[in-house]
Amino acid sequence: MDAAEFRRRGREMVDYVADYLENIEERPVSSDVEPGYLRSLIPTEAPLEPDNYDDIIKDVERVIMPGITHWNSPYFYAYFPASNSYPAMLADMLCGGLGCIGFTWAASPACTELETVMLDWLGKMLKLPDHFIAGTHGRGGGVIQGTASEATLMALLAARCKTLRRIRAANSELSEGEIRSKLVAYTSEQAHSSVERASLIGDVTMRMVPTDSTYAVRGSMLKKMLEEDKAAGLIPFYFCATLGTTASCAFDNITELGPICNKEHVWMHIDAAYAGSAFICPEFRPLLNGIEVFKNMHSNLINRVKKREDIIGAFNVDPLYLKHENQESGAVQVYFHLHTQYILQTQVALAKEFESLVRADKRFEICAEVVMGLVCFRLKGSNDLNQLLLKRITNSREIHLVPCQLSGVFVLRFAICARSTDSRHIQHAWRHITQLSCELLQENH
């Protein structure tokens, strides 16, 4: 394909994407394919002769679309919002054209530089304390990770490395193996599964801290566990707090937790993968209060540290082919990608609208406070009843949502995800849920 054909096909693709998003409501939000569906639709081996471009594009509708869950559908209420937008797609096209890999400053200086300055912008929008800002002379700053899971893992590994050095410096008689077998990490029992996975990858013990009735970790709960473990000769080193849990959007009490972690030399990391971007809104910023005392935070795909060296020092390997003159300026691995902020206030209003529909119906109950764009609800009754309701919702393919478990109870999560979701879709979704519930309750009587 030459540049002239790319111009023509590029225009067609822009129109295809715009058509797709403008008419997405006409597609069933979720897929009804069976595992293995795709294999029979295409050849078993790569063709030796090139396919015609038009045939390949036809395969998008024939092969791919039947197996797509439409995350941008206004009827998609599962998981959490995807973060694409028209401006983000244009930025991605530009990045694809540049095609540079910014693994060091010299490999493309603009990558590292733009990331550093943009994360300072974001830090200021979040009103973070100055020591989290890189600035021109600061030691803080942020770095974009591929996923929130990576950010959690990187913080855990950096904390492990820093703690091993600190304990060894003070206790030269202890071997590294002895120290590491005593390390204990902590997180909420409501934390995302990627936090526990980070401890498996980092090969350290992780204990789950119980939560209060709002599914938040309080200072007293963590303090009790730290004291128990210290008394048993263990070394607490890492606590991952969550602001906006996946199950119910609960907020750990970081104002209580921060000072405890500081006092005990425990690296405190915040997973705010969902709620983080909301803190740029004045009405939600108080949820971030307490950040001032922090050693470390991460928010929505961003790993932000007070001291860059803690991250850089932990995994520095310096081969000659990556050396360059400006190495000491704090270059770190970067991914060049522009994201846009969600139109969050609208989404919260829609969640509140859905919440009031649920509250007005005595057959249902709300299972957790609605703070942002997530509503946890269920039919009053057994877990089996609610599992059956979700199964029927899923099979209908009119709306798409996923469950969670709160205090052993099976709960339906209704998350406002797509930018295009408006009141009309919320009302339709609720009518659909109540209709399926009516049928279900009648059958059960």
Q: Which positions from 381 through 420 interact with its own copies, judged by CB under 8 A?
A: 402-405, 410, 413
Kindly provide the residue ranges of all beta strands, DSSP E only, lying in 300-440, ordered along the sequence. 302-305, 364-366, 374-379, 402-406, 409-415
Burial group, residue 249, by CB count within 10 angstroms (0-12, 13-18, 19+): buried
What residues between 327 and 366 interact with its own copies by CB under 8 A? 329
DSSP 91-128: HHHHHHHH----SSTTT-HHHHHHHHHHHHHHHHHTT-
- The CB-of-118 to its own copies minimum distance in angstroms stands at 8
Cβ pair 159, 267 in contact under 8 A? yes
What residues between 281 and 320 interact with its own copies by CB under 8 A? 314-315, 317-320
- The CB-of-255 to its own copies minimum distance in angstroms stands at 26
- Binds its own copies (CB under 8 A): choice among 1, 169, 170, 232: 1
Closer to its own copies by CB, 206 or 370: give it: 206
What residues between 34 and 73 interact with its own copies by CB under 8 A? 34-39, 42, 44-46, 60, 63-72
Please tell me what DSSP assigns to residue 407: T
Tell me the angle at which helices 219-231 and 254-263 cross, rounded to the nearest 10 degrees: 20
Closer to its own copies by CB, 42 or 438: give it: 42
Closer to its own copies by CB, 71 or 132: give it: 71
- Determine the interface stretch with its own copies among 3-11, 266-274, 368-376, 423-431 (rule: CB under 8 A): 3-11
Closer to its own copies by CB, 243 or 412: give it: 412
Q: List the alpha helices (DSSP H) in 238-378.
A: 254-263, 308-312, 344-359
Give the HSE-up count for residue 361: Cα atoms under 13 Å, Cβ half-sphere: 19
What mask, x for binding its own copies by CB under 8 A, covers residues 148 to 187? ---------x--x--------------xxxx-xx------
Closer to its own copies by CB, 141 or 290: give it: 141
CA distances from 187 to 196, 224, 225, 248 (A): 8, 14, 11, 16
Closer to its own copies by CB, 258 or 344: give it: 344
- The CB-of-367 to its own copies minimum distance in angstroms stands at 13
- The CB-of-192 to its own copies minimum distance in angstroms stands at 8
Distance CA 204, CA 201 (A): 8
**Residue pointed to by tokens 């907020």:** 251
Nearest to 184 by CA among 245, 240, 140: 240
Closer to its own copies by CB, 102 or 258: give it: 102
What residues between 67 and 126 interact with its own copies by CB under 8 A? 67-72, 78-79, 82-90, 92-94, 96-101, 105-111, 113-114, 116-117, 120-122, 124-125
- Determine the interface stretch with its own copies among 192-200, 232-240, 249-257, 262-270 (rule: CB under 8 A): 192-200
Residue 28 is a binding residue for its own copies (CB under 8 A): no
- The CB-of-306 to its own copies minimum distance in angstroms stands at 20
Closer to its own copies by CB, 51 or 292: give it: 51
Q: Which two tokens stand for residue 439?
A: 């049928």
- The CB-of-35 to its own copies minimum distance in angstroms stands at 4
Closer to its own copies by CB, 101 or 438: give it: 101
Distance CA 188, CA 209 (A): 5
The amino acid at 92: D
Burial group, residue 47, by CB count within 10 angstroms (0-12, 13-18, 19+): exposed
- The CB-of-155 to its own copies minimum distance in angstroms stands at 13
Q: Which two tokens stand for residue 354?
A: 């859905």
Q: Which residues pair with 205 in a beta bridge?
A: 184
- The CB-of-432 to its own copies minimum distance in angstroms stands at 20
Q: Which residues pair with 144 in a beta bridge?
A: 302
**Residue pointed to by tokens 């225009």:** 11
Closer to its own copies by CB, 39 or 445: give it: 39
What residues between 203 and 232 interact with its own copies by CB under 8 A? 203
Distance CA 312, CA 328 (A): 11
What residues between 238 and 257 interact with its own copies by CB under 8 A? 246-247
- The CB-of-348 to its own copies minimum distance in angstroms stands at 20
Cβ pair 396, 431 in contact under 8 A? no
> What distance, in Å, lies between the first and last C-alpha atoms of the chain?
64
Distance CA 158, CA 421 (A): 40
Closer to its own copies by CB, 62 or 224: give it: 62
- The CB-of-309 to its own copies minimum distance in angstroms stands at 16
- Determine the interface stretch with its own copies among 194-202, 262-270, 285-293, 361-369 (rule: CB under 8 A): 194-202
CA distances from 292 to 136, 289, 304 (A): 21, 7, 13
- The CB-of-196 to its own copies minimum distance in angstroms stands at 5
- The CB-of-285 to its own copies minimum distance in angstroms stands at 15
